[in-house]
Structure 1
Amino acid sequence: MRLYAVLFLVAISTMLAESVSINTLVFPSETNSSYVEMVPQKPLNLRAFTLCMRVATELTGRREIVLFAYRTQRADELNVWRELDGRLSFYLVDEPVFFRVPDIGALQTHLCVTWDSSSGAAALFMDGRKSLTKIFKKGHTVQPRGKVIIGQDLDSYLGPFDANQSFVGEIGDINLWDSVLSDRMIQDMFSGKRVPRGNVFDWETTQLKINGEVVVVNTQQ
């Protein structure tokens, strides 16, 4: 009986050790002032990337939603959007690539976009399922020395913001790598397995600058 008790305690301890406390950002209402700035661990000088996040929103209808905005003084270097027609997209220097996938909604969706400059290969993953591959901006480089904003679209380097493009809902676990992760690693990430954290943005350690009416909710994963 003692052996069973010891094994039970070891199992519980292992489960607790493997659980991770993650902050999630809740944007409760449409505004032109609530946003979060993410401070990168290294410059966004990117010839390839994988960008992942977990997102949920009840915004529907003909309403575009910005999910990730990175802008330098020169241009919108890397933006991720849900478009007016429900397609998901990402933009490199104001040029888009579109993916027609199931619409995101109130149930949390794990979303990743990948891109490689050498081939131009671009893809989207939704809850571990990969889209078709598209060829986009071959030979391009994402430029450094910009700002990353969650919740608003940077129409210029310092704003202003448009409330009609703001994010309303829940978003978190935003990680960015300067390489294209394998399909298996992205699938493992969706299923909750531990994978190497983002080396440009690691959501567990990245500094967040909260502005406006953004609520930070702590959850266990």
Structure 2
Amino acid sequence: MRLSVVLFLIATSIVLAGGVTVKSLVFSSESNTNYVEMIPQAPLTLGAFTLCMRVATELSSEREIILFAYRTQYYDELNLWRELDGRLSFYLSGEGVFFRVPELGPMQTHLCVTWDSSSGAAAIFIDGKKSLTKVYKKGHTIRSGGKVILGQDPDNYLGDFDANQSFVGEISDVNMWDFVLPDRVIREIYNREGTSRGNIFDWESTELRVRGRVDIIQCDV
């Protein structure tokens, strides 16, 4: 019996020692002032991308929510939304593409979006599971030179925010690559396996500039 207890304590210590501490952004209230700017580690001239994040929110499913916004001076280059009807969507300089997937809620969801200009293939992954593929904006290129923010939808260059579209909840583990990750790698990221980190945004090292009341907390996972 005593040996079993010792082995349990040793195993527990190993798990705790191998734990990982990650930062999360907590947006506690609706506003038209609270947001976080992410500074890219490479230009956002993109013909393909994978964007992943972990997100949780208690906002009603009948309220639209901006999840990620990249805008240049005149265009919304890449915006990721939860729509009024609960669908997830993203927009590349114009009309968007929509996916009916399990709705976001207060329990943390791992969300990834992929798109490839050469084929137009677009898909969404929820907790490692892939949606159907849709063809969207074939031949399009995302332009560099803009600002990336979390928490608000800029209707002009980093301004004109609407509190009714702001994000309220928790966002973490935001990574972005300038290519489409294999499905297997996305599943590994969801399960916190492997070491793949974004080359456009790497959550562990990307500079974050907080504006307004957004809390950065550290969590053990």
Structures share fold, TM-score greater than 0.5:
yes
1:81-120 → structure 2 map (5 Å cutoff): 81-120=81-120
Q: Distance in 1 between matches of 2:17 and 2:142?
A: 37
Residues 109 and 127 of structure 1 are in contact (CA less than 8 Å); yes or no, is this contact kept in structure 2? yes
Aligned CA distance change for structure 1 residues 47 and 13 (closer, same or farther; 3 Å): farther
Unpaired stretches in structure 1, ≥5 consecutive residues: 1-6
Give 2:151's aligned residue. 151
Partner of 2:66: helix, strand, or coil? Answer: strand
Residues 185 and 195 of structure 1 are in contact (CA less than 8 Å); yes or no, is this contact kept in structure 2? no
Partner of 1:217: helix, strand, or coil? Answer: strand
1:19 is displaced (CA, Å) by 2.8
Give 1:78's aligned residue. 78
Give 1:140's aligned residue. 140
Q: Which amino acid aligns with 2:87?
A: R
1:1-221 → structure 2 map (5 Å cutoff): 15=15, 18-221=18-221
Q: Distance in 2 between matches of 1:67 and 1:94?
A: 17
Q: Distance in 2 between matches of 1:57 and 1:77?
A: 24
Q: Distance in 2 between matches of 1:200 and 1:157?
A: 20
1:131 is displaced (CA, Å) by 0.1
Partner of 2:23: helix, strand, or coil? Answer: strand
**TM-score under structure 1 length normalisation:** 0.93
Partner of 2:148: helix, strand, or coil? Answer: strand
Q: Which amino acid aligns with 2:181?
A: L
Q: Which amino acid aligns with 1:109?
A: T
Residues 135-165 of structure 1 deviation map (CA, whole Å, 9 limit, x = unaligned): 0000111000000010000111121110000
Residues 151-210 of structure 1 deviation map (CA, whole Å, 9 limit, x = unaligned): 000111121110000000001100000000000100011111133100000000000001
Residues 97 and 136 of structure 1 are in contact (CA less than 8 Å); yes or no, is this contact kept in structure 2? yes
**TM-score under structure 2 length normalisation:** 0.93
1:20 is displaced (CA, Å) by 2.4
Residues 71 and 147 of structure 2 are in contact (CA less than 8 Å); yes or no, is this contact kept in structure 1? yes
1:74 is displaced (CA, Å) by 2.0
Residues 67 and 79 of structure 2 are in contact (CA less than 8 Å); yes or no, is this contact kept in structure 1? yes
1:13 is displaced (CA, Å) by 7.5
Following TM superposition, the consecutive aligned residue runs of length 4 or more in structure 1 with deviations greater than 3 angstroms are: 7-18
Aligned CA distance change for structure 1 residues 10 and 146 (closer, same or farther; 3 Å): farther
Unpaired stretches in structure 2, ≥5 consecutive residues: 1-6
Partner of 1:187: helix, strand, or coil? Answer: helix
Percent pairwise identity: 65
Q: Which amino acid aligns with 2:196?
A: P
